Amino acid sequence: MNRDEIKTFLPHREPMLLVDDVVMEGDTAIGHYHVRGDEFFLQGHFPGNPVVPGVIQCEIMAQSSCILVRKELEGRTPLYSGINNVRFRQPVRPGDTMEIRARITSRRGMIFFVDAKATVNGKPCCQGELTFALIDNDKAK
């Protein structure tokens, strides 16, 4: 699924659409985001030593999880309801491509619990347990 296809599911748009592609492999979503270096979140983080902020890495993992719930996303907005046990292992910098592997560990109605792990060149950079709820669009406004 490329960026245009992802936009049919996710409400995110540039500059906050932070996934380039995502595919399913069994019950695992595999997403990628290539850090170009001109992203808004690198401006000032840090001058002369740009590093992708941890919160943005979490957002990249969450957006990459979109394909896991694609059938339920129509007419709904995904909102974070929790982020647990997040660990950052190495900095992510311009030129890096993050690969995210995510799978649903449990579900309660429209609340999803996801285990997500991100790597750069096969080395872990971020991992955590993400929880998000799908809210009907008319209630999300």
Q: Comparing C-alpha atoms, which of 34, 33, 112 is closest to residue 78?
A: 112
Under a CB-based contact definition with an 8 Å cutoff, are residues 133 and 81 in contact?
yes
Q: Comparing C-alpha atoms, which of 76, 77, 66, 70 is closest to residue 102?
A: 66
The overall longest dimension of the chain from CA atoms, in Å, is: 46
> Sign of torsion, CA 17 23 29 31?
negative
Instruction: Give me the catalytic one of 12, 32, 34, 45.
Output: 45
Active site residue 45: yes
* Residues noted as catalytic: 45
